């Protein structure tokens, strides 16, 4: 293979980025073909996976890269080999054990770094470089940098401690002009090679990569068929074809066709690539897995996603004093609510001083005539669903509880509850549960001294579940388990969750 002098360096990270779909396991025959074919392509680096500390969940061989895997990759590839380390998970003390088996096999170690951890990452990068590796600093979330670029002083330290500095468009939200502007600033301060890693949410991965190249970037990432998390990456075959057209590289197109063919089965199985939710994540600079989760698992409207959270009107402070309750009924969206609606209403009426909490607006009409105090937990489009329930005539005994800002969605407030709404504060809730309305409600109950919670409408999904339903079921199961020691939780109606049961018909 012949190259022009000072040409663009190319890094294929299919095995590392594609591992998000395969859990970092790949069939042996595919690996053999992948290395045989990439050996015939004008690439410089093959990134084969992660060096990671041990996790509780299962991750495959290319997430941990034990020595035998490293040996096989090194034997099979003529190119330099790279790995990635998630900086947030690894300390300087972890370096020796992580890199112990890498010497002689790995050439480049790349650090994935959040902007807020940039300064901290310098020590880790220096430590890795002292071990004899090339080191790249991959700074994420570039579409959010705007004019808040890394300062000149810290860039000087990066010059001294790293071999590459990567601009990473994590949300796939950049445009060529913003790439050019960013590169112009970085080139004025950095003497090391600048790289670009683009995601394809807005189908601009190629345009942005070429803009980076034309603005002085010296190394570009890509993956076969764009295989990568969410919307995927710049396609290796597309980038190579463009460089071939520009007569920058020589290329055997049949080899390129063959390597594409061996990943087609994966694409048919995992369906990576952009779609409307991923486009929304790009234009809003929001995590793509979060947007997809909200849409598929929690049925939020795409219109509700916005980076700067606001509501139609300033909500009432959370200091609003509503009556004190020791018991509550939590109403989910399952069919069991309607099946046992009359009995649940009778139980609530007999108790009187019991709070009704809606995690979903699906079953509110069952309680349209109830005199019990009612809380509607709202995020995204749930408020519109509530407003559409024409059977509700009296809103005087209802309050809208608006999700905190870390839910990352606009919240629509029903017109009848605009003056009866409480916006929860992020600082008061554990964000490890992220956007779970169930976890939010259980934390709210504890905060407001509720001792006993009766649950209905958390039915489960039956024997066959979609991927999203399974994830939501497992998430809710973990949440109920986490709170069972602090809050007494009873299921009133049939459920697949592991909850203590008290039949509604024994309570009326």
Task: Give the domain ranges of the chain.
Answer: 9-284, 327-506
Contact (CB, 8 A) for 372 and 357 = no
pLDDT classification of 312: cutoffs 50, 70, 90: very low
At 127-163, the pLDDT tens digits run 999 999 999 999 999 988 866 789 999 999 999 999 9
Alpha helices in 352-391 (DSSP H): 382-387
Provide the total of helices (H) and of strands (E) in the chain, helices listed first: 19, 16
Please name the residues in contact with 318: beta carbons below 8 A apart, sequence gap of 6 or more.
422, 423, 424, 425, 428
9-284: CATH topology = TIM Barrel (3.20.20)
Contact (CB, 8 A) for 50 and 64 = yes
Contact (CB, 8 A) for 61 and 24 = yes
Please name the residues in contact with 57: beta carbons below 8 A apart, sequence gap of 6 or more.
none
* 234-251 core/surface letters (b: 16 or more CB in 10 A; e: else): bbbbbbbbebbeeebbeb
At 386-397, the pLDDT tens digits run 888 778 878 888
- CATH topology agreement for domains 9-284 and 327-506: no
Check residue 316 and give its pLDDT.
59
Rounded CA-CA distance 219/236 in Å is 13
- The larger pLDDT score, comparing residue 1 to residue 285, is at 285
At 333-392, the pLDDT tens digits run 999 999 999 999 999 999 878 999 999 888 999 998 899 999 999 887 777 778 887 788
The whole-number average pLDDT for the span 289-318 is: 50
Rounded CA-CA distance 14/49 in Å is 9
User: Is residue 338 exposed (0-12), middle (13-18) or buried (19+ Cβ within 10 Å)?
Assistant: middle
Report the DSSP pairing between strands 134-139 and 108-113. parallel
Task: Decide if pLDDT at 31 tops 60.
Answer: yes
At 222-253, the pLDDT tens digits run 999 999 987 899 999 999 999 999 999 999 99
Q: Which CATH number fits domain 327-506: 3.90.700, 2.40.160, 1.10.3470, 3.40.50?
A: 3.40.50
Report the DSSP pairing between strands 327-331 and 219-222. unpaired
Tally the C-alpha atoms within 13 A of residue 374's C-alpha that lie toward its C-beta.
Answer: 28
Rounded CA-CA distance 394/380 in Å is 23
Record the pTM: 0.64
Tally the C-alpha atoms within 13 A of residue 503's C-alpha that lie toward its C-beta.
Answer: 2
Rounded CA-CA distance 328/451 in Å is 8
Task: Decide if pLDDT at 492 tops 70.
Answer: yes
User: Is residue 141 exposed (0-12), middle (13-18) or buried (19+ Cβ within 10 Å)?
Assistant: middle
At 265-274, the pLDDT tens digits run 888 888 877 6
Distance of CA 131 to the CA centre of its chain: 32
Rounded CA-CA distance 442/503 in Å is 21
Average model confidence (pLDDT) for the chain? 87
């Amino acid at each position: 293979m012949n190259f022009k002098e000072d040409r663009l360096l190319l890094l294929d990270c299919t095995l590392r980025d594609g591992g998000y779909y395969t859990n970092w396991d790949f069939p042996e025959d595919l690996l053999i073909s992948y290395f045989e074919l990439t050996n015939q392509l004008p690439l410089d680096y093959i990134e084969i996976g992660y060096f990671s500390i041990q996790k509780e969940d299962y991750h495959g061989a290319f997430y941990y890269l034990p020595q035998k895997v490293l040996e096989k990759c090194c034997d099979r590839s003529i190119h330099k080999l790279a790995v990635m380390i998630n900086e947030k998970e690894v300390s300087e003390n972890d370096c020796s054990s992580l890199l112990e088996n890498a010497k002689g096999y790995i050439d480049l170690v790349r650090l994935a770094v959040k902007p807020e951890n940039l300064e901290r990452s310098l020590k880790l990068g220096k430590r890795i470089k002292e071990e004899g590796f090339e080191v790249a600093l991959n700074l994420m979330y570039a579409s959010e940098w705007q004019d808040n670029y890394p300062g000149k002083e810290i860039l000087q330290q990066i010059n001294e401690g790293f071999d590459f500095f990567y601009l990473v468009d994590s949300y796939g939200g950049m445009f060529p002009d913003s790439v050019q502007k960013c590169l112009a600033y970085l080139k004025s301060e950095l003497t090391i090679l600048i790289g670009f890693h683009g995601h394809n949410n807005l189908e601009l991965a190629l345009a942005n990569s070429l803009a980076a190249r034309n603005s002085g970037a010296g190394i570009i990432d890509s993956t076969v068929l764009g295989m990568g998390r969410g919307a995927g990456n710049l396609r290796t075959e597309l980038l190579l074809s463009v460089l071939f057209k520009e007569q920058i590289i020589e290329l055997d197109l049949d080899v390129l066709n063959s390597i594409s063919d061996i990943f087609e089965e994966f694409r048919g199985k995992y369906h990576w690539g952009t779609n409307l939710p991923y486009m929304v994540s790009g234009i809003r600079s929001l995590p793509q897995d979060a947007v997809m989760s909200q849409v598929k698992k929690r049925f939020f409207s795409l219109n509700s996603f916005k980076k700067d959270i606001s509501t139609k009107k300033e909500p009432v402070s959370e200091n609003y004093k509503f009556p004190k309750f020791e018991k509550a009924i939590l109403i989910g969206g399952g069919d069991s609510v309607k099946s046992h609606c009359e009995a649940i209403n009778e139980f609530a009426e007999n108790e009187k001083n019991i709070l009704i909490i809606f995690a979903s607006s699906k079953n509110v009409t069952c309680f349209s005539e109830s005199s019990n105090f009612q809380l509607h937990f709202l995020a995204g489009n749930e408020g519109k669903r509530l407003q559409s329930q024409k059977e509700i005539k009296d809103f005087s005994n209802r309050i809208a509880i608006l999700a905190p800002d870390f839910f990352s969605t606009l919240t629509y407030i029903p017109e009848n509850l605009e003056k009866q709404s409480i916006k929860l504060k992020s600082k008061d809730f554990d964000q490890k549960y992220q956007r779970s309305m169930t976890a939010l409600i259980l934390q709210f109950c504890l905060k407001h001294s509720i001792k006993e919670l009766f649950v209905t409408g958390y039915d489960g999904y039956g024997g066959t579940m979609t991927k999203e339903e399974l994830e939501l079921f497992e998430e809710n199961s973990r949440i109920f388990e986490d709170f069972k020691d602090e809050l007494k939780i009873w299921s009133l109606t049939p459920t697949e969750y592991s909850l203590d049961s008290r039949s509604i018909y024994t309570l009326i």
